[in-house]
Amino acid sequence: MKLELVQGDITKVAADAIVNAANSSLLGGGGVDGAIHRAAGPELLAECRTLHAQGGCPPGQARLTKGYRLPARYVIHTVGPVWRGGNQAEEAVLARCYKSAFALVEANGLRSVAFPSISTGAYGFPIDRAAPIALREIQAALARLPQLEKVTVVLFSPGDLEMYQRALARVSGPDQGGNV
Ligand code: APR
């Protein structure tokens, strides 16, 4: 069960790292970004301010901070693409968010990581197109990184969970329910 799809609140997940769907300033926002900052406490914003001073985080890239009051040790902040109709390389940028997050997982020897559904909220990326991109990148990382023991995708609503479960069945063969 190295890949798990669950419905819930990512701020409650005690993985080595949870991934934040941030914006380029890294200074917080709404959605999962707001939830993570609220749960982590003010020290997270203080650390993010230092990253902001160094230029923040361009779309498709990722930055690592501590998790502070979160159960997760680290937060990997990544910036997804804003959906602009699908002809502005949004799908490539979204794939790069997952690749960049896994590069930090590998570099820091992390064994477990949890993702939200990046870009499918305020950034408007259609979730039926985002889910297969996310799942393909996660499966590639699980095949490539022997130290990686568990990847969890934490969906906020039942509908989003069902969308990911359907996408997983398509990308990995019909008999893979919600967990593999
Ligand atoms: N746990 C897990 N998932 C969550 C949580 C939570 N606590 N809160 C929201 N989500 C889900 C949303 O339902 C959505 O499916 O995270 C997904 C991503 O939505 P957003 O948080 O809106 O992120 P995104 O679409 O990438 O937009 C990023 O929004 O919050 C701002 O600062 C952020 O400007 C950035 C933009």
Output the pLDDT for position 20. Answer: 99
- Radius of gyration in angstroms for the set of CA atoms belonging to the chain, rounded to a whole number: 15
pLDDT at 173: 59
Mean pLDDT score of the chain, rounded to an integer? 95
Active site residues: 33
Tokens 């959906």, located at residue? 83
User: Given its phi and psi angles, is residue 61 left (phi above 0), alpha (psi -120 to 50 degrees) or beta?
Assistant: beta
Residues with CB under 6 A from ligand 1: 9-11, 21-23, 29-35, 80, 116-123, 154, 156, 160
Using an 8 Å Cβ cutoff, are 155 and 7 in contact? yes
In which residue ranges of the chain is pLDDT below 50?
A: 175-178, 180
Query: Cα 64 from chain centroid?
Result: 12
Which atom of ligand 1 is nearest the CA belonging to 33?
30
Domain 3-172, CATH 3.40.220.10 — does that match? yes
